[in-house]
Structure 1
Amino acid sequence: MTLAIMQPYFLPYIGYMQLMDAVDTFILYDDVSFINRGWINRNRLLINGQEHLFTIPLKDASQNKRINEVHLADDPKWRSKLLRTIEQGYRKAPCYQQVMPITEKIINFATDSIADLVYFSLIELNQYLGITTRLVASSSIYSNADLKAQERILDICRQESATRYINPIGGIELYDKPTFEESGIKLNFIKAKPVQYPQFGRSAFVPWLSILDVLMFNDIDTVRVLLGEYELV
Structure 2
Amino acid sequence: MDEVTVVVAHSERATLRVGDVFLKVDADQARLDVEVEAMSLAPVPTPEVLWRKPPVLAVAALPGTTLGRLGGPSTGSSAAWAAAGAAIRKLHDAPLPPRPGRAGRSIVALAAELDDECELLVTNGLLPADLVTHNRQVAEAALRPWTPAFTHGDLQIAHVFLDGDEVTGIIDWSEAGQGDALYDLATFTLGHEEHLDDVVAGYGTDIDLDLDVIHAWWSLRSLLAVRWLIEHGFDPFAPGCEVDVLRSRM
TM-score (normalizing by structure 2):
0.30
Q: Give the number of the structure with larger relative contact order, counting CA–CA contacts within 8 Å between residues 6 or more apart.
A: 1
Taking structure 1 as the reference length, the TM-score comes to: 0.32
